[in-house]
Amino acid sequence: MCFTYACLVSTQAQVLYDFTAEPGNNELSVREGETITITNQTIGGGWIEAKNSRGEVGLVPEDYIEVSNGYRKWFLQSNGNDPWAVFDNNASGGFSNNWAAQPEGTETGKTSSNAWHSGGHGHPQAYQGPGEVGPVWAYPDYQLDCVVADPKKGSKMYGLKSYIEYQVIPTTTNKPVNHRYKHFDWLYERLLEKFGSAIPIPSLPDKQVTGRFEEEFIKMRMERLQGWMSRMCRHPVISSSEVFQLFLSYKDEKDWKMGKRKAEKDETVGVMVFSTIEPEGLPDLDMIEVEQKCEQFNRFTRAMDDGVKDLLTIGNEHWKRCTGPLPKEYQRIGKAFQNLSSVFISSGYEGEAALTDALTAAGKTYEEIAQMVAEQPKKDLHFLMETNNEYKGLLGCFPDTIGVHKAAIEKVKEADKLVAAGKITPSDKITMSKRASIMSYSLQAEMNHFHSNRIYDYNRVMQQYLEQQVKFYEMIAEKLRHAHSQFTTM
């Protein structure tokens, strides 16, 4: 696990080389010597977002600029070899949930090596704006992702047991591996066990027994597994973990089975995961401040949880209206126009044709609109709902994650009494504080990860939603314009 603690003293930057924006990519053209203001340094991929003196905002390559007043950074790094051997033993003795409050043990064996974090290469990717963001996870230069695709029906025991097998293709190797839903579930259990105290691990899409071979269900589950996997891939700690790497790129059946057995025996789970963090070089944290931050996170996640649930409720109602009464009403309007047209045709009056043709066309247009209205939620509301559902899942994990930290803080607050009562030594108290600090750093890094992902996700989903909404209303206008043109102006 690796931290970067970045404190940005200034967001002013000097442009080192000319850069010409490519149109449509939200880039910003800058000239050598120009002073720009960094507005978002969490973009990744070698880009930062900056604003020029004319107020224009866009992306600029990180290498083309130099931050004026510099920033400090710290790294906390560890390898995955369970360095705190003493804790491993204790952990297996039912110790895990109180680790942060236990003064015993010493930290050993921290070496700086990690699949995705190479030396001093890591950019502080989660700070932005003027002021201080605090600890962030060290993000890999290359963002892992994967594709979940090609669901196939498989069978076992001479066809007695059927299941759906998905292909998972990591963008790193581009080599597909096969997984059934129960494998994803196994991965979820492992990640929850190992990282659940530090990182919210959202649940997998619901299991379903009946109808699980129906096309619609398989498509929806695949889409949700894709969303879940992409979110896991985006997390630097999870995506670099041995178990996750195993899941994405096992060589063969034997490799998978051996890896599974090893992961199931992993003892660096629960709060023990914090023991893999190197606290050296980190500034000491004030416990009052830690508590306040924790409380702020708590309030925020609860408020967002309410907001997300509210949006989901409204979205569900809107969905129902858009697929139920509203298209039915447009259909009835369409039928009423067509019915009137039929009546007009029966008049026996010559010269009805122009009107009745136009009226029939208008009626059919409203029937088409009815269908468009009914199908629209799948094109826009669906993604807004899926994203908010994902966030609902994520936010539901935070109370536990925050609870672990709160308990640690409480223990540290009691430490003075314990020292006075001779139950622990002053040195034990210092160790306890250090560990609570580490947990707080971890929580802050996780919150910063959550925030930057949230900003990215909501930007993306709102764009997608509004884009589809625009298309929808434009198409209705276009259809009605055509219907209008068929009436004769007199």
Binding positions for its own copies, 199-238, rule CB under 8 A: none
Applying CB under 8 A, among 70, 130, 154, 281 the residue interacting with its own copies is 130
Q: Is residue 296 helix, strand or coil?
A: helix
Among 115, 149, 288, 354, binds its own copies (CB under 8 A): 354
Angstrom distance (rounded) from CA 90 to CA 96: 8
- Using CA of residue 301, residue 303, residue 306, residue 307, what is the dihedral sign? negative
Question: What are the residue ranges of helices labelled H in 82-168?
Answer: 85-90
Name which of 40 and 437 has its Cβ closer to its own copies: 40
Judged by CB under 8 A, the residue of 35, 97, 171, 459 near its own copies is 459
Closer residue to its own copies (CB): 102 or 230: 230
Q: Tell me if 17 contacts its own copies by CB under 8 A.
A: no
- Based on the shown chain and the rule CB under 8 A, indicate whether residue 115 belongs to the binding site for its own copies: no
For 320-356, b/e burial (b = at least 16 CB within 10 A) is eebbeebbeebbebbeebbebbeeebeeeeeeeeebb
User: Of residues 136, 238, 282, 359, which one binds its own copies by CB under 8 A?
Assistant: 359
Smaller CB distance to its own copies: residue 168 or 361? 361
Q: Which one-letter DSSP state was computed for residue 401?
A: H
Q: Which stretch binds its own copies (CB under 8 A): 28-36, 61-69, 117-125, 126-134?
A: 126-134
Positive or negative: CA dihedral 175, 234, 73, 82: negative
Residue choice 2, 133, 138, 237 for contact with its own copies (CB under 8 A)? 133
Smallest gap from residue 110 Cβ to its own copies (A): 29
- Which of 131, 154, 283, 403 is in the footprint of its own copies by CB under 8 A? 131
In whole angstroms, how close is the CB of 323 to its own copies at the nearest point?
A: 13
Smaller CB separation from its own copies, 127 or 274:
127
Nearer to its own copies, 375 or 467 (CB): 467
Residue 456 is a binding residue for its own copies (CB under 8 A):
yes
Which span (179-187, 254-262, 269-277, 357-365) binds its own copies, by CB under 8 A? 357-365
60 touches 29 (CB < 8 A): no
Q: Name the CA dihedral angle for 241, 247, 251, 252, rounded to a multiple of 10 degrees.
A: 140
Joined tokens for residue 430: 């210092």
Whole-number Å distance between alpha carbons of 68 and 17: 15
CB atoms within 10 A of CB 267: 14
DSSP classification of residue 101: G
Which CB atom, from 314 or from 430, has the smaller least distance to its own copies?
314
**Residues in contact with 230: Cβ distance below 8 Å, sequence separation at least 6, in sequence order:** 145, 146
Tell me which of 127, 137, 244, 383 binds its own copies, using CB under 8 A. 127
Query: Considering only residues 20, 26, 92, 113, which one is a binding residue for its own copies as defined by CB under 8 A?
Result: 26
Tell me if 376 contacts its own copies by CB under 8 A. no
Is residue 483 near its own copies by the rule CB under 8 A? yes
Least distance from its own copies to the Cβ atom of residue 258, Å: 40
Full 3-state SS string of 16-58: CCCECCCCCCCECCECCCCEEEEEEEEEECCEEEEECCCCCEE
**How many angstroms separate the Cα of 415 from the Cα of each of 95, 98, 295?**
18, 14, 20
Judged by CB under 8 A, the residue of 115, 258, 430, 462 near its own copies is 462
**Residue 217 Cβ vs its own copies, minimum distance, rounded to whole Å:** 28
Rule CB under 8 A: which of 293-352 touch its own copies?
A: 296, 299-300, 303-304, 306-308, 310-311, 314-315, 317-318, 321, 325-326, 329, 332-333, 336-337, 339-340, 343-344, 346-352
Q: How far is the CB of 236 from its own copies (least distance, A)?
A: 18
Q: Is 288 in the site for its own copies (CB under 8 A)?
A: no
Residue 429's SS3 state is helix
* Stretch 48-107 residues interacting with its own copies (CB under 8 A): 49, 57, 59
- For its own copies, the closer of residues 420 and 490 by Cβ is 490
Closest CA to 148 of 164, 129, 130, 125: 164
Size of the site for its own copies (CB under 8 A): 83
Q: Which stretch binds its own copies (CB under 8 A): 84-92, 166-174, 257-265, 468-476?
A: 468-476
Residue 490 binds to its own copies (criterion: CB under 8 A): yes
Q: Alpha-carbon distance 339 to 366, whole Å?
A: 13
Interaction of residue 487 with its own copies, rule CB under 8 A? yes
* Distance, CA of 422 to CA of 416 (rounded, Å): 10
Find the binder of its own copies among 92, 98, 316, 463 (CB under 8 A). Answer: 463
Which of 52, 268 has the CB closer to its own copies?
52
Rounded to whole angstroms, the maximal C-alpha distance in the chain is: 108
- Looking at residues 401 to 420 of the shown chain, list those that interact with its own copies (rule: CB under 8 A): none
- Which residue, among 107, 98, 79, has the nearest Cα to 275 in the 3D structure? 107
Nearest CB to its own copies, comparing residues 217 and 458:
458
Least separation, in Å, of the C-beta of 480 and its own copies? 5
What does the angle CA 289 – CA 290 – CA 294 come to, to the nearest 5 degrees? 115
Q: Coil, strand or helix: which one is 135?
A: strand
381-420 vs 353-379: helix crossing angle, rounded to 10:
20
